[in-house]
């Protein structure tokens, strides 16, 4: 039994090595992204662990079949970039890590909301561009306890976000296609997304990306939102139309945005060794706005998360290889 882990970051290496030693299993790490070309490096291995936002395509799974590799264990939650039908057709079983640290992402979402609510970006802009640093009436912020927070998606991450926002005194409303049976009085479900758009001062996204919700947040929705509203996206970039978001921010349709997930994320984004400069004009424009906080899909990135992502992913590979059914099987 031997496995290979692709797109391994420097912070993952100690956990990958420890897992291999603890289980007496050979595990090879590579920093390369998994593609139809680089999968040749997996020839002779029994399973692959991987973390990336670029697609796992039909052609890639055909190469899995040609190399006799039957197991792919993702080190993340989302499977929207995986051609699951092609995986099944080529006899590849897939697992993910549905709960590596919901608290990490929820805390990050709340941090973004606090940063934007208190207009810290405007203070930073004053200091960096004008080399001035003094009190300004334009920096007057809002307490979280004065605001209504709309949570879209009440899975593990969304529920932790609700607890944190509630702890700061916010009124929380939520929408989910599959609502929980009980809210324990912590928040109120609404019947449609329109209510979230129109009533929320802060909207925080904790939902998977699907074909149905691609560009859910577009010009029409931004027009419905309050002009003092803040959008937080620590979920998936495809949910938000980036060009429409930029227009909404520039025109004052909404007040701010915390963006940790971008449309069309490149492999370089998750390559800890990459030195490539940002060239995407939309990303550059967003990064220069004082009412935006932009981060490289790093809301998950805590020591607890990294450890759990590696450990659970490798455990799932071992379980599949031994012929058992893992709890995290994606079907």
Tell me the angle at which helices 102-117 and 156-167 cross, rounded to the nearest 10 degrees: 40
Q: DSSP assignment, residue 244?
A: H
Mean of pLDDT values over 87-92: 98
Asked if residue 147 and residue 56 are part of one domain, the reply reads: no
* 315 and 216 part of one domain: no
Task: Quote the pTM value.
Answer: 0.85
Q: Are residues 286 and 313 in the same domain?
A: no
- Kindly state the DSSP code that residue 210 receives in the 8-state scheme: -
pLDDT of residue 134: 81
- Reduce the DSSP state of residue 48 to 3 states and report it: strand
Residue 99: predicted pLDDT: 84
Tokens of 122: 């405007």
Residue 73 has pLDDT above 80, yes or no: yes
Q: What is the pLDDT of residue 270?
A: 59
Considering the domain architecture, whether residues 149 and 268 belong to the same structural domain is answered as yes
DSSP H helices, 225-302, are: 242-251, 281-287
Instruction: Read off the pLDDT band of 138 (50, 70, 90).
Output: confident
Per annotation, catalytic residue among 63, 156, 159, 297: 297
- 3-state secondary structure at position 302: coil
Q: Which residues contact 239 (CB under 8 A, 6 or more apart)?
A: 205, 207, 209, 213, 214, 215, 216, 217, 233, 261
Domain match, 31 and 120 both: no
Share above pLDDT 90 across residues of the chain, in percent, rounded to a whole number: 85
Average pLDDT over residues 82-111: 96
The yes-or-no answer on residue 297 being catalytic is yes
Same domain, 126 and 266: yes
Among residues of the chain, what percentage have pLDDT more than 70?
Answer: 97
pLDDT at 111: 98
Collapse the DSSP code of 182 into the 3-class scheme (helix H, G, I; strand E, B; otherwise coil) and give the result: coil
Number of compact structural domains in the chain: 2
Tell me, what's the pLDDT at 129?
A: 84
For the segment 153-174, what is each residue's pLDDT rounded down to a tens digit?
A: 999 999 999 999 999 999 999 9
Residue 149's DSSP bridge partners are 172, 202
β-pairing, 329-330 with 93-95?
A: antiparallel
Higher pLDDT, 267 or 220: 220
Same-domain status, 17 and 85: yes
pLDDT at 266: 65
241 and 313 in a single domain? The answer is no
Q: Does residue 267 carry a pLDDT above 70? A: no
Same domain flag for 77 and 181: no
Looking at residue 271, its pLDDT comes to: 58
Quote the mean pLDDT of the chain. Answer: 94
Residue 311 shares a structural domain with residue 227: no
Q: Indicate whether 111 and 93 sit together in one domain.
A: no
Can you give the pLDDT at residue 265?
A: 73
User: Which CATH number belongs to the domain containing residue 228 in this structure?
Assistant: 3.40.50.720
CB–CB of 265/301 below 8 Å?
no
Q: What is the mean pLDDT of residues 33-44?
A: 97
Q: How confident is residue 133, by pLDDT bands cut at 50, 70 and 90?
A: confident
pLDDT at 280: 87
Q: Mean pLDDT throughout 234-253?
A: 97
Segments forming the whole domain that contains residue 153: 102-294
Are 263 and 237 in contact by the 8 Å Cβ rule? The answer is yes
DSSP single-letter state for residue 308: H
Q: Which has more pLDDT, 138 or 35?
A: 35
Residue 156 catalytic?
no
Instruction: Give me the catalytic one of 236, 253, 263, 301.
Output: 236
- The answer on 161 and 21 residing in a single domain is no
Catalytic hit among 63, 253, 265, 301: 265
pLDDT above 70: residue 39 = yes
Place of tokens 């499977």: 79
- Secondary structure (3-state) at 2: strand
């Amino acid at each position: 039994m031997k496995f290979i882990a692709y797109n391994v970051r420097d912070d993952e290496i100690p956990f990958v090595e420890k897992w291999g030693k603890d289980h007496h299993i050979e595990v090879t790490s590579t920093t390369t992204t998994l593609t139809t070309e680089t999968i040749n490096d997996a020839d002779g291995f029994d399973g692959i662990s991987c973390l990336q936002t670029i697609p796992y395509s039909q052609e890639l799974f055909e190469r899995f079949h040609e190399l006799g590799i039957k197991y792919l264990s993702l080190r993340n939650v989302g499977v929207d970039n995986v051609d699951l039908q092609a995986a099944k057709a080529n006899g590849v079983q897939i697992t993910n890590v549905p709960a590596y640290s919901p608290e990490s992402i929820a805390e990050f979402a709340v941090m973004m909301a606090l940063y934007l609510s208190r207009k810290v970006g405007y203070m930073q802009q004053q200091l960096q561009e004008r080399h001035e640093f003094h009190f300004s009436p334009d920096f007057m912020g809002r307490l979280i306890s004065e605001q209504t927070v709309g949570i879209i998606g009440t899975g593990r991450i969304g529920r932790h976000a609700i607890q944190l926002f509630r702890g700061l005194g916010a009124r929380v409303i939520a929408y989910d296609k599959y609502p929980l049976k009980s809210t324990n009085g912590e928040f109120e479900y609404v019947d449609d997304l329109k209510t979230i758009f129109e009533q929320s001062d802060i909207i925080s996204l904790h939902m998977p990306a699907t074909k149905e919700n691609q560009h859910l947040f577009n010009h029409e929705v931004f027009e419905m939102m309050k002009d003092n509203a803040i959008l937080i996206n620590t979920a998936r970039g495809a949910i938000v139309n980036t060009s429409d978001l930029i227009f909404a921010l520039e025109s004052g349709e909404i007040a701010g945005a915390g963006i940790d997930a971008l449309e069309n994320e490149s492999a370089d984004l998750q390559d800890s060794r990459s030195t490539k400069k940002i060239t995407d004009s939309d990303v550059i424009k967003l990064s220069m706005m004082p009412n935006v906080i932009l981060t490289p899909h790093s809301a998950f990135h805590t020591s607890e998360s990294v450890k759990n992502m590696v450990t659970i992913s490798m455990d799932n590979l071992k379980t599949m290889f031994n012929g058992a059914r893992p709890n995290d099987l994606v079907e």
